[in-house]
């Protein structure tokens, strides 16, 4: 299974989170994805639930994986890339002694080892060695594109291609043995977007002289959006929809005066960072009522430019 983040790019901007006969609902929903659903299945269901054709998600979860899936509705789909970039947290089971074709429990067994002699300390040391800034080779069963083709499409045709390693960051990688299940470890991983949890498990198995795969995988957090924010897909209603401003709560929020709001609504660059802005951006610009106007980014000069304008769109 993968912890890989993926962006479905939509069209449009923001609004209120209400519904209309013409545009459907706009905003963000935090879904607890069930096992057996693809991320695209969830998107299709949300189109029907909210009467909205523009729907996109931030951070793919494989069918067997569960947990936090952020889904943008309507013009808010344009904001998904800022959510895709947020750090993520997963809990998983790492099963030592068996390698599979997909690096998770859904694949065919491709190797078996007796790893009963591996100690808990050795497993923790292997996890520690994979903490920090590392390079990962994406698995063939993934949504990464090589030569214009997604790897999982090539894998289904029995084609394997070279994949350049990608730099990712693992901020925390804790492992503990699962009682009564020798060779199985519960892992909790905090990582950057683009990190494959199943590759971490495979790397641990290799480092310990054998193989391993992911049993269960659950994403528990994307940025500040955690399990307390989630709704099951079958229990989604309009009151679950967050406004675009709420969707951007992990960015630095800047409240601007009407004069500046007018410039932002026209999509103009600003000569300076508005008073109250902190950090290096991106910044979520809101009006005095708290409605999102745009997201601005730094330019390397005193000027800042709009990345996504939602006011009036």
As annotated, the active-site residues are 62
Q: Are 296 and 279 in contact (CB under 8 A)?
A: no
CA separation for the pair 73, 58 (Å, rounded): 11
CA separation for the pair 230, 24 (Å, rounded): 21
Q: Return the exposure string of 158-180: e unless at least 16 CB atoms fall within 10 Å of the residue's CB, then b.
A: eeeeeeeeeebebeebebeeeee
Structure token digits, residue 280: 């290096």
- What letter would DSSP give residue 7? B
Q: Which of 278, 279, 281, 274 is nearest to 308 (CA)?
A: 281
Q: Are 191 and 130 in contact (CB under 8 A)?
A: no
Rg (CA), the chain: 21
Where is 185: in which H helix or E strand?
A: strand 184-191
């Amino acid at each position: 299974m993968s912890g890989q983040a993926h962006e479905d790019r939509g069209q449009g901007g923001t609004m209120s989170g209400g519904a209309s006969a013409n545009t459907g609902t706009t905003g963000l929903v935090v879904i607890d994805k069930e096992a057996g659903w693809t991320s695209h299945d969830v998107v299709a269901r949300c189109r029907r639930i909210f009467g909205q054709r523009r729907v996109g998600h931030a951070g793919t979860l494989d069918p067997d994986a569960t947990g936090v899936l952020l889904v943008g509705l309507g013009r808010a789909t344009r904001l998904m890339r800022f959510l895709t970039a947020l750090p993520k947290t997963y809990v998983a089971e790492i099963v030592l002694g068996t390698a599979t074709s997909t690096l998770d429990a859904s694949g065919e067994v491709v190797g078996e080892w007796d790893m009963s002699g591996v100690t808990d300390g050795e497993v923790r040391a292997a996890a520690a060695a994979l903490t920090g800034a590392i390079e990962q080779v994406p698995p063939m069963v993934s949504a990464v594109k090589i030569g214009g083709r997604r790897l999982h499409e090539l894998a289904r045709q029995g084609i394997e291609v070279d994949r350049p390693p990608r730099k990712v960051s693992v901020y925390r990688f804790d492992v503990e043995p699962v009682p009564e299940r020798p060779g199985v470890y519960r892992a909790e991983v905090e990582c950057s977007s683009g990190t494959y949890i199943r590759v971490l498990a495979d790397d641990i198995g290799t480092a310990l002289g054998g193989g391993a795969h992911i049993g269960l995988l659950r994403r528990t957090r994307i940025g500040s959006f955690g399990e307390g924010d989630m709704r099951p897909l079958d229990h989604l209603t309009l009151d679950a929809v967050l406004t675009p401003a709420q969707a951007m709560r992990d960015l630095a929020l800047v409240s601007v005066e009407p004069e500046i709001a007018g410039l932002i609504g026209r999509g103009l660059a600003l000569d300076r960072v508005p008073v109250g802005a902190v950090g290096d951006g991106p910044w979520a610009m809101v009006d005095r009522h708290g409605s999102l106007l745009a997201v601005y980014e730094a330019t390397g000069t005193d000027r800042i430019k709009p990345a996504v304008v939602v006011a009036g769109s």
